Amino acid sequence: MGLTIGNSDNNSVNEVTKQTESERKQVDSKPNTIFSVEDLDVNKDGKIDNKDFNSKAFINKFKNLGSAAMKKIEDMYIEYALKQPNNRRTAGSLTIVEFDMPFSMGASRKKQFILDKKSGKVILEKSIKTTEKDGITSVEISTNRYNKNKVKNHEVKFQYDKQALENYVINEAKDKKGNDITYFDSIPKIRALPENQRTEAQKKLLKEFDNMIEYTIQSGIDYGVDPKLILSVIQQEVGFKGLSSNVTGKNGKGYMQLTSAPINDYLGLSSDRQYHEIKDFLYGPETEELLSSRGFEPRKAQTQAARRSLYKNIYNHLLANKDPEFNIRLGTLVLRYYLDKTGGNVSRAAKLYNGSSLKEEYARHVDKYNTLLRDTVKQDTIYNYKQYNIAYMKKK
């Protein structure tokens, strides 16, 4: 049986947040820490809303509780948030529930649940925690993918300095021959100009630069890939000139140069055996959400012919549209697929992304760029993979 979230009762949150028996006993053994949803109604208006959880009255009432008690309160908030229609949206066959967690103690914490729209089963649960200090953003992402009575957990920790990323692209980046990449050299001068004095070409270049940085960072956070690695691949593929027609490769297009090799592999086109090996990823919620945003329906591609047609349509979209967000997000998903496949081995993932496990030169360049970018922050990137039973979790 899968996990479900429908009209949640008081037990449904424990199902999806994996609260252990020891944590529950710790809460229940403490005096004055047995809570109900009514306890959270600090305004006593008979209606729980976000203001209750973020009010001074709430914080004063619960600030001295232990971590286990606060965990139970957080579970209650998740239960509340899951019911709110404003937190829900649909994408293809999915229902996606997203919300910010309150009382985050200086951090930003987001939760995402992706459900099968028809059955109500939770197929993905994601927690994203971000903190900022001295211009450096630290990100911790934990993703649980549910499949029958198993859950695959993927944890990623990385840091990035947005200003350092921009400076690297503008001032420090070199191509694979060691020559300076000068495509965005004029960005500081353009930014120094008043907006009404910028030419249309300057505005276009500035938008292209800002979008590339933003899409790279957001794709990394959404899909659990260090943005520094994504930017390293873009540097190797096109020298950051993703919207320039003169950098289109023989088969690729855009920033991530999605050629036939990685997309074929990603969509399992080579053989039915290969398709069955990766179908959980192909029809995974993040993939379906992205493809459905551009009108594609991966769940309908159940045969090799249908998958080839899907690939052709995606590839034609990449060729026909300057859609940098889709290009970077899809490329990041493909890169994440190879990171998953190699247990977080960046060099092996880069070689596979390039279309061959033998592409040593490609991997060396990506490793070199990634190392230079990694040196802009203090913390190395960590990829952790786990799989465990969820039999102890209550199921409906």
pLDDT at 61: 66
Mean pLDDT of all residues in 121-126:
91
Q: How far apart are CA 336 and CA 346, in angstroms?
A: 10
Q: What's the pLDDT band for 241 if we cut at 50, 70, 90?
A: confident
Mean pLDDT of all residues in 45-50:
64
Cα–Cα distances in angstroms (integers) from residue 23 to residues 4, 63, 66, 203, in the given order: 22, 18, 11, 54
> Token pair for residue 244?
């320039």
Mean pLDDT of all residues in 24-53:
56
Cβ neighbours of residue 209 closer than 8 Å, sequence gap 6 or more:
166, 169, 184, 187
pLDDT at 125: 93
Shared-domain flag, residues 372 and 250: yes
User: What number of helices (H) and strands (E) belong to the chain?
Assistant: 16, 8
Q: How far apart are CA 363 and CA 358, in angstroms?
A: 9
Length of the chain: 396
Domain-embedded: residue 241 = yes
pLDDT digits (tens, 9 = 90+) for 151-195: 888 899 999 999 999 999 999 998 888 889 999 999 999 999 999
Q: Check if the beta carbon of residue 168 is closer than 8 Å to that of residue 376.
A: yes
Q: Check if the beta carbon of residue 4 is closer than 8 Å to that of residue 14.
A: no
Q: Check if the beta carbon of residue 190 is closer than 8 Å to that of residue 167.
A: no
Of residues 279 and 72, which shows the higher confidence score?
Answer: 72
What number of other Cβ atoms are within 10 A of residue 270's Cβ?
Answer: 12
Q: Check if the beta carbon of residue 122 is closer than 8 Å to that of residue 4.
A: yes
Q: What's the pLDDT band for 381 if we cut at 50, 70, 90?
A: confident
Last residue of a domain, one of 124, 155, 186: 155
> Helix, strand, or coil here: 391?
coil
pLDDT at 271 over 80: no
Shared-domain flag, residues 46 and 183: no
Shared-domain flag, residues 86 and 191: no
pLDDT at 283: 63
Mean pLDDT of all residues in 316-329:
85
pLDDT at 129: 93
Domain-embedded: residue 382 = no
pLDDT at 31: 40
Q: How far apart are CA 385 and CA 283, in angstroms?
A: 20
Shared-domain flag, residues 135 and 193: no
- The residue range of the domain holding 352 is 162-376
pLDDT at 235: 92
pLDDT at 127: 94
Average pLDDT of the chain, as a whole number: 78
Shared-domain flag, residues 248 and 362: yes
Q: What's the pLDDT band for 47 if we cut at 50, 70, 90?
A: low
Shared-domain flag, residues 24 and 82: yes
pLDDT at 14 over 50: no
Last residue of a domain, one of 111, 133, 155: 155
Domain-embedded: residue 396 = no
Measure the N-to-C terminal CA separation of the chain; round to a whole number of Å.
8
Of residues 23 and 164, which shows the higher confidence score?
Answer: 164
Shared-domain flag, residues 143 and 188: no
Of residues 262 and 1, which shows the higher confidence score?
Answer: 262
Domain-embedded: residue 16 = yes
Measured over the CA atoms of residue 49, residue 14, residue 108 and residue 231, the dihedral's sign is negative
Q: Check if the beta carbon of residue 381 is closer than 8 Å to that of residue 157.
A: yes
Q: What's the pLDDT band for 383 if we cut at 50, 70, 90?
A: confident
346-353 helix and 360-374 helix, angle to the nearest 10 degrees? 130
Domain-embedded: residue 385 = no
Q: How far apart are CA 297 and CA 318, in angstroms?
A: 16
Mean pLDDT of all residues in 237-244:
82
Mean pLDDT of all residues in 360-386:
84
pLDDT at 30 over 50: no
Mean pLDDT of all residues in 372-396:
66
Shared-domain flag, residues 182 and 104: no
pLDDT at 161: 94
pLDDT at 96 over 90: yes
Mean pLDDT of all residues in 118-145:
91
Q: How far apart are CA 223 and CA 335, in angstroms?
A: 10
Q: Check if the beta carbon of residue 347 is closer than 8 Å to that of residue 339.
A: no
Q: How far apart are CA 387 and CA 130, in angstroms?
A: 24
Domain-embedded: residue 381 = no
Q: How far is CA 43 from the centre of its chain?
A: 36
Q: How far apart are CA 219 and CA 206, in angstroms?
A: 20
Last residue of a domain, one of 129, 155, 181: 155
pLDDT at 264 over 80: no
Beta strands in the chain (DSSP E): 3-4, 88-91, 94-100, 108-116, 121-133, 136-147, 150-160, 382-389
Domain-embedded: residue 236 = yes
Q: What is the DSSP letter of 394?
A: -
Mean pLDDT of all residues in 24-49:
54
pLDDT at 388 over 50: yes
pLDDT at 281: 58
pLDDT at 21: 41
pLDDT at 251: 59
Q: How far apart are CA 169 and CA 185, in angstroms?
A: 8
Q: How far apart are CA 336 and CA 226, in angstroms?
A: 10
CATH of the domain at 241: 1.10.530
pLDDT at 8: 38
Domain-embedded: residue 388 = no
Shared-domain flag, residues 195 and 238: yes
Q: Of the given ranges (6-20, 52-66, 120-134, 357-371), which has the lowest mean pLDDT?
A: 6-20
Shared-domain flag, residues 339 and 289: yes
Short-list 295, 271, 385, CA closest to 337: 385
Shared-domain flag, residues 175 and 222: yes
pLDDT at 361 over 60: yes
pLDDT at 89: 93
Shared-domain flag, residues 132 and 178: no
pLDDT at 223 over 90: yes
Q: Which of 82-91, 252-261, 308-317, 379-388 has the highest mean pLDDT?
A: 82-91
pLDDT at 315: 79
Q: Check if the beta carbon of residue 282 is closer than 8 Å to that of residue 298.
A: yes
Q: How far apart are CA 173 and CA 169, in angstroms?
A: 5
> Domains in the chain: how many in total?
2
- Tokens 């297009």 locate to 253
